[in-house]
Structure 1
Amino acid sequence: MSAITSRRHRKRKLKAEINVVPYIDVMLVLLIIFMVTAPLLNLGVDIELPRSNAKSMQEKKDPVIVSVDAAGNYFLTVEAGSNEALTPGELEARIGAIVRQNPQVPVFVAGDGTANYQKVMDAMVLLQRAEVERVGLMSQPSGEGAE
């Protein structure tokens, strides 16, 4: 009888370890699923944007328009006047003076469709250096032809 009681008194030590084998199994299954599905994902989606009959925004003030032609030359149109060809330095100085005089004047950049995109971005950088807070990009709806 003493052998039976001695077995009862010898208790098994409790393990304080987490069994991670099920977690490893789940992780491997997820890894396989992601490896199989990753090549099937499309990076780009072809969409057709909705058409709108909305009217263009009406500004109270005549906008200042900086135009970039196909050759990369800059032109400035102020208050529906004629285009003036300017160098980048002259453009920055003129726009800076106009914006300091009237900070709320709308400023737009109109780039020729065949113009180098870098020249349009350079015009926007010039406007930023001239402390123009908001710059709009002009476009022409696809239904209307250029004249």
Structure 2
Amino acid sequence: MAELNARGGGRRRRTRNEINMVPFIDVMLVLLIIFMVSAPLLPTGVVDLPSIGKARQAPEKVIEVVLEDEDHVKLRVNRKDVDSMSVKDLADRIKPMQDEAAGGPQAVPVIISARKDVRYESVVHVMDVLQKAGVARVGLSVRTTGG
């Protein structure tokens, strides 16, 4: 027994492998208080949304392309239904209508409108068809609600 005491004692204390959570909790509470105090002081982000442009004078002739579903469109000239056709025939029909105008292709605006259930990809496809046909003034129909 004398030899055991000379080496460091008879009974050794075992170390326990545990994580002390108290300092961790203290740090988290301090961070929480800092964020709660500083959050109302941060500036809020303001998003500038584009506004609808208003023309001084309404154009004399307006061609409206109403997208009924992914493959079919209806043409309206000055709010009167003219024809119904597929999207692939749209370029052949729009070009003569633009050439009839007195000011050339730049004078007649083409407006695209679609129902809510039509996919956005279809609207982009119609815009692409009109661009390839040489239509320079293409707009999207926007309806605003008053109140």
Fold match by TM threshold 0.5 = yes
The answer for unaligned runs of 5 or more in structure 2 is 1-44
Structure 1 residues 83, 139: CA separation in 2 closer, same or farther (over 3 Å shift)? farther
Q: Which residue of 2 aligns with 1:30?
A: none
Q: Residue 141 of structure 2 is aligned with which of 135, 138, 142?
A: 138
- Secondary structure of the 1:82 match is strand
Q: Residue 111 of structure 2 is aligned with which of 108, 115, 118?
A: 108
- Given residue 113 of structure 1, which amino acid in structure 2 is its aligned partner? K
Q: Which residue of 2 aligns with 1:67?
A: 66
Q: Which residue of 1 aligns with 2:77?
A: 78
Q: Which residue of 2 aligns with 1:10?
A: none
- Secondary structure of the 1:67 match is strand
- Given residue 136 of structure 2, which amino acid in structure 1 is its aligned partner? E
Q: Which residue of 1 aligns with 2:47?
A: 47
Give 1:107 deviation, angstroms. 0.9
The answer for unaligned runs of 5 or more in structure 1 is 1-44
Q: Which residue of 2 aligns with 1:58?
A: 57
Give 1:129 deviation, angstroms. 1.6
Contact 1:99-1:131 at 8 Å conserved across structures: no
Residues 16-46 of structure 1 show CA distances to partners (whole Å, capped at 9, x for unaligned) of xxxxxxxxxxxxxxxxxxxxxxxxxxxxx56
The sequence identity of aligned pairs, in percent, is: 27
Residues 51-77 of structure 1 show CA distances to partners (whole Å, capped at 9, x for unaligned) of 88x8665323120000112x3221111
Contact 1:67-1:74 at 8 Å conserved across structures: yes
- Secondary structure of the 1:76 match is strand
Give 1:50 deviation, angstroms. 8.8
Structure 1, 77-86 or 105-114: larger mean CA deviation: 77-86
Give 1:130 deviation, angstroms. 1.5
- Secondary structure of the 2:61 match is coil
Give 1:79 deviation, angstroms. 2.9
Give 1:132 deviation, angstroms. 0.4
Give 1:110 deviation, angstroms. 0.8
User: How high is the TM-score relative to the length of structure 1?
Assistant: 0.55
- Given residue 136 of structure 1, which amino acid in structure 2 is its aligned partner? G
Question: What is the root-mean-square deviation of aligned Cα atoms in Å?
Answer: 2.7
Measured in 2, the distance between the counterparts of 1:64 and 1:143 equals: 25
Structure 1 residues 142, 49: CA separation in 2 closer, same or farther (over 3 Å shift)? farther
